Amino acid sequence: MSSSGHGVPAAPRAVTPEDPMAQQTVTTIRTLAMDAVQAANSGHPGTAMAMAPIVYTLWQDFLRFDPHDPIWVNRDRFLLSIGHASTLLYSMLHLCGVRAVNPRYERLGHESVSLDDIKRFRQLDSRTPGHPEYRWTSGVECTTGPLGQGVASSVGIALGGQWMAAHFNRPGFPMVGFDAYALCGDGCLMEGVSSEAASLAGHLKLSNLCWIYDNNRITIEGSTSLAFSEDVATRFMGYAWNVVRVGDANDLELLRRAFRTFKATTDRPTLIIVDSHIAWGSPNKQGTSAAHGEPLGEEEIRLTKRAYGWPEDGRFLVPDGVREHLAGGMGKRGKEERDAWMQRFERYRAEHPGLADELYRMQHRVLPDGWDTDLPVFPADPKGLAGRDASGKVLNVLAQRVPWLLGGSADLAPSTKTRLTFAGAGDVTAAERGGRNLHFGIREHAMSAVLNGLSLVKLRPFGSGFLVFSDYSRPALRLSALMELPTVHVFTHDSIGVGEDGPTHQPVEHLPALRAIPGLLVIRPADANEVTEAWRVIMQQRHTPAALILSRQALPTLDRTRYAPARGVERGAYVLADAPGGPPQVLLLASGSEVALCVAAHEQLAAEGIRSRVVSMPCWELFEDQPQDYRDAVLPPAVTARVSVEQASTFGWERYTGLRGANIGMTTFGASAPLAELQKKFGFTADAVAAAARAQLGR
C-alpha cells in the first residue's frame, strides 16, 4: 500500500492512464519487486514500487542503452544511488533483456538477470544481491548501497564523458556524448558527500548530469521532518543547478517533460525533484515502513495486487507483451544508436587511427606501447629526494605516455606534487574539458567518489591528499576496491615527518587502516627508485586500486650497486641487503623512510660482526600474493630474531615479526616539533634499531 509519507494508509496508485501497456509494465516492475522481497523475506519493496514509473519512463523513452551490448562506449549511464531499491534495477535488466558480459568484454548471450535470478534475490551467489554490485551483474553501472555514493560517482561519470568528448570527438565524428542519470533519495541528499559532489558538478557546469530525487519524505526512523527540513530546490539552485519539479511520480507525461528539460539544458546539471508516496503497509502495520523495514507480507501483497487489478495469486508474473513493449522502445532505439555508432567508429578508425586506437585501449584497460619508456632512474644520493617529489617526476613522464591518465588533488597539488606540468597538460574547467589537471577543491570524500566515476568510464584517474585525510576518502576508496577499479590514491605527508604541524596532521593508524581494505594495494616506497617501480606496478593494474604512500621529507636514494635493485617492489618485499659470512641472524623489516634507518643499523651491526638482513616491504598485499617459497626465502622461518620499523601504528606487523619480535612504531599520537626531535623522542633512529636487533639476539 502507499501513503502520504506520514503513515496514513492509502490505496496504491496506478500510473496516469495513457498507454495500457505502459501501465501494465509499471505494475509488472512493482509486483516483481514485491514478490522478490517477499521470497527473500528480506529487503525493502516500497521505494522500488514508488519509483517504477520514473525508471520506466527514463528507460523506455530517453535512455540510450542497447540491452545486447551493455558495455557500448557511448551508452547513457543509469545509477541507482538508492541501492536498497535494487529490485527496481533488477526488474528492468530482466524485462529489457540485458545480456551478460564477462571480464574479457565478451557478450555471452545469456540473460544478465533471469526471472530465476529475481526469485533468488539476496541469496548466496545470486546475480541479484541486496544492493547493486558492479562487475557482478551486467547492466549495473556502479556499486551502490552506502547512500550518497551513487550520485557522487555519477559526477565522475559525467565529467569523464565530457573529457572524452573533448579528447576524442572530431568534426563529423561525435564519438562520445553520453548522459549520466542517478536516482537518489532523502538519505543520499543528507549524506555530506552528495553536497560536495553537487557543488563540484555545478561549478563545472556538467550539463550531461541528471539527478532524480525521490522526495518521499520517509527514512528508517520515520518522517524526514525529524531531522531534515531544508529547501532542497533552493540548495541546488545555489549550486548552480537547473531544478525541475514533478508533483506526481505516477504522471508519465510530466516525467517526460522533466527529462526533455534536462536534455535541452546545456549549461548546468539538472535536478528533477519527484514527489512520491512510498509503500508503507496496511493499518495494522503503521509505523513500519515497507521501504526501509521489512517485506509487505503475503496478505498485504494480495491486497495490493487486487488494487492494481493484478492476479492476486500471481507470483513473479510477467504478462505477455511487456518484454516486447520494452524491446520496441528502449531496445529498438538503443540498438539503432549503437549500430550507427559502430559504423561511425569504423570510419573514425580510418580517418583518425591514433585516436581510435586510444579509445579501444582505454576501454579495454590496455596501456599504450612504450608506456614506461624513459621512466626516471635516480642516482645514489645520501641527501636524496622526498617521495612526493620523485612521484611528481615519474607521474609527469607517465601522463605524457598515457593520454587518458589524469587527476588532481583536494586543493593540495603544490604539496602532493601531483600537478601535471608538461606542455599542453592544462586544467579541466567549466570552459575547457580536455585538460589533464583536475581541481577537486577541499572535498576529499567527493574526490574519491569522482575518481570511481572516472574509472567506471575507463579513464585512469588519480587523486591526492595528505595521508591523515584518507579518513575522509575511505568510504569511496573502499568501494573502488569492491568494484575492482584501478583508481590511484596518492597520499603524501605519510608520518610524524610532518613535524611541526602536530598530531592532527600526523598519520598514525592510517597505514594499517588502509591495509585492512581487501583488494587495495598499499605501497610505501623507501626511496626515489622504489617510487618509480611503485608507479610501474600501479599502472599495470587493471582491476586493483592502489594507495601510494609518500614522504614529505627527503629520503636517501640508495646506491643500487651496493643494494638490491628497486625492481623488487613488484614482489611486495625483497632482500635489500645481507651481511656476508653466512645466513642472517636477525631480520630488519621496514617500509618507506624507515628502510634507510634499517640500512644504517645494518651497517652498524655488520661492524660488530652481527649478520643482519634488511628487507624492504613496500607492499604487503603484493608480498602475500607471492609463492610460499619466495616468501620463505625473503623471511626465513628459521630466523626468529626480527625487528620491524615503521612510523605508524605497529598493528599488523606481528604477522611478520611473530610474538617474539620487536616492533618499533607509534603507540600514541605524535607531537608538534621539528622532525629530528620527533624521531629521537619516538625511537626512530639507527641506534634504536640496532639496539632492538641486539636485544633480539640477547646481546
Q: Which residues are catalytic?
A: 444
Which residue, among 692, 690, 693, 620, has the nearest Cα to 656 in the 3D structure? 620
DSSP label at residue 571: G
Sheet containing strand 460-466, edge to edge, reads 437-439, 405-409, 460-466, 488-492, 546-549, 521-523
Distance CA 92, CA 25 (A): 10
Q: Note the Cα 484 to chain centre separation in Å.
A: 8
Distance CA 343, CA 572 (A): 45
Distance CA 241, CA 197 (A): 12
With beta carbons less than 8 A apart as the criterion, state whether 612 and 575 touch.
no
**Burial classification of residue 45, based on how many CB atoms lie within 10 Å of its CB (0-12 exposed, 13-18 middle, 19 or more buried):** buried
With beta carbons less than 8 A apart as the criterion, state whether 586 and 693 touch.
yes
Q: Which residue type occupies 246? A: V
Contacts of 420 (CB under 8 A, 6+ apart): 395, 396, 399, 406, 436, 437
The Cα-based distances of 163 to 84, 404, 420, 568 in angstroms read 31, 9, 16, 36
Phi, psi of 57 (to 5 degrees): -60, -45
Which residue, among 209, 288, 403, 410, has the nearest Cα to 9 in the 3D structure? 288
> Taking CA 600 as the corner, what is the angle to CA 551 and CA 514, rounded to the nearest 5 degrees?
35
Q: How do the residues of the chain divide into helix, strand and coil, expressed in percent and rounded to 5?
A: 45, 15, 40
**Burial classification of residue 340, based on how many CB atoms lie within 10 Å of its CB (0-12 exposed, 13-18 middle, 19 or more buried):** exposed
Which three cell numbers mark 84? 536498497
Distance CA 592, CA 387 (A): 9
DSSP label at residue 85: G
Q: Which residue type occupies 152? A: A
Distance CA 428, CA 406 (A): 10
Distance CA 436, CA 442 (A): 19
CA dihedral 531, 533, 534, 539 (to 10 degrees): 130
Contacts of 172 (CB under 8 A, 6+ apart): none
Phi, psi of 527 (to 5 degrees): -155, -175
With beta carbons less than 8 A apart as the criterion, state whether 15 and 53 touch.
yes
Q: Can you point out the beta strands (E) in 49-140?
A: 77-80, 99-101, 107-111
Distance CA 206, CA 180 (A): 10
Tell me the β-bridge partners of 439.
409
Q: Note the Cα 614 to chain centre separation in Å.
A: 35
Q: Which residue type occupies 443? A: R
Residue 591 Rama label (left phi>0; alpha psi -120 to 50; beta)? beta
Phi, psi of 34 (to 5 degrees): -60, -45
Residue with cell 598493528: 651
With beta carbons less than 8 A apart as the criterion, state whether 153 and 459 touch.
no
With beta carbons less than 8 A apart as the criterion, state whether 601 and 690 touch.
yes
